[in-house]
Amino acid sequence: MTATAAFGPGAIALTVTVAPPADGGGVLDVTVASTRPVGFSTALFVDRPADDIPALVGRLHALCGLSHATAAAMAVAAARGADPTAIAAGRFDGLLAERLGEHLRSTFLGPAGTPPGDVPRDMLADLRAVLAATRELTATAGEPSPSDAPRDATVRARAGIERLGLMLDRTGRLVMPPASWAAGVAERFGSASGDVHLAPDPLGPADDTAVIAALAADPTGFAAEPELPGRRPETGPLARAGGGDRLATRLAEIADAGRLLAASQRSRRDALADWVRAAAIDAHTGYAAVESPRGRLHHLVRLDGTGRVAFYAILAPTEWNFGPDGPLVATLRANRPTADDAGRARVERIAAAFDPCVGFAVTVEERDHA
pLDDT of the chain, 370 residues: tens digit per residue: 233 334 446 789 999 999 999 888 999 999 999 888 776 777 889 999 999 999 999 998 888 999 999 999 999 999 999 999 999 999 999 999 999 999 999 988 765 455 555 678 888 899 999 999 999 999 888 766 555 667 899 999 999 999 999 999 999 899 999 989 999 888 877 777 889 999 999 999 999 999 999 999 999 899 999 999 999 999 999 999 999 999 999 999 999 999 999 999 899 999 999 999 999 999 999 999 999 999 999 999 999 999 999 999 999 999 999 999 999 999 999 999 999 999 999 999 999 999 998 889 999 999 875 5
CA distance 133 to 125: 12
- Exposed (0-12), middle (13-18) or buried (19+): which is 61, by Cβ within 10 Å? buried
Nearest partner of 277 among 332, 211, 357, judged by Cα: 211
Q: In CATH, which of 1.10.10.10, 1.10.645.10, 3.40.30.10, 3.40.50.300 is domain 11-195+204-366?
A: 1.10.645.10
Q: What residue type is assigned to position 158 of the chain?
A: R
Nearest partner of 350 among 247, 248, 253, 251, judged by Cα: 247
Residue 309: the pLDDT is 97
CA distance 17 to 78: 46
Residue 327: the pLDDT is 97
Residue 310: the pLDDT is 96
Beta-carbon contacts of 258 under 8 Å, excluding residues fewer than 6 positions away, are 100, 157, 158, 161, 162, 166
